[in-house]
Amino acid sequence: MRKKSKYRPKPVLVNPLGYVLEGMTAVRAHETSGLDLKIKNHLALANLTKGNGTRSDVNTMIAMGNITEALHRMGFGTEYAGEIKAGINALYVVAMRGQENNRFILRAEEMKALNTLCDLHDAQLEIITLKDMGRAVELVEKEHRSGKMRRVTKQPVLEAA
């Protein structure tokens, strides 16, 4: 009888010390990637604030909110649990409301909550390392695969009896 498992060699790191040191560096030390991420998030927030938000802008804000919540669970910004929850709930409401006509317009309290969420995400980026960011992304992907995330889907229209 033949063995069914196949040989899968482990990846070999060319520079193991460099790999470890890279994971220990702060995100703020990588000016281009951290700055690009902040610009992308703030541009999406500005478009939503002006009333020109698109589905892509909402998806960018959802990704930012998911990473912020994952970093919160990992211990970064634990004292801001209420603000994170309010921001994510506001984002969910905006996405649900704008899904029907592809117009994503913020109300005042939603705008305030999303501004706070974006500021908190920026503050988290200043203190985390690349390894922390990788772990946060893995946590978000794991929850997405397992279906634990709250999804933005069209609500069925109930007909009056």
pLDDT digits (tens, 9 = 90+) for 14-38: 888 877 777 777 776 766 777 888 8
In a domain, residue 17? The reply is no
For the residues 117-129, what does the mean pLDDT come to? 91
Residue 145: C-alpha distances to residues 96, 140, 149 (Å): 21, 9, 9
Per-residue confidence (pLDDT) for residue 61, from 0 to 100: 93
The pLDDT score that the predictor gives to residue 158 is: 46
Tell whether 21 is covered by a domain.
no
Residue ranges making up the domain that contains 122: 29-146
Checking if the pLDDT of 160 tops 60, the result is no
Q: What's the pLDDT band for 156 if we cut at 50, 70, 90?
A: very low
Q: pTM score > 0.85 for this model?
A: no
Burial environment of residue 73 by CB neighbours within 10 A (0 to 12, 13 to 18, 19 or more): middle
Q: Between 115 and 155, where is the model more confident?
A: 115
The three-point CA angle 11-13-14 to 5° equals: 130
- For the chain, how many structural domains are there in total? 1
pLDDT of residue 12: 86
Domain assignment present for 158: no
Amino acid at the residue 62: I
Which single residue is written with the structure tokens 């995330």?
Answer: 149
- Between 77 and 109, the more confident residue is 109
pLDDT for residue 84 is more than 90 = yes
- Domain-located, residue 153: no
> Which is nearest to 120 in space by CA: 160, 157, 85, 158?
85
Give the per-residue pLDDT at 154.
64
127, 26 in Cβ contact below 8 A? yes
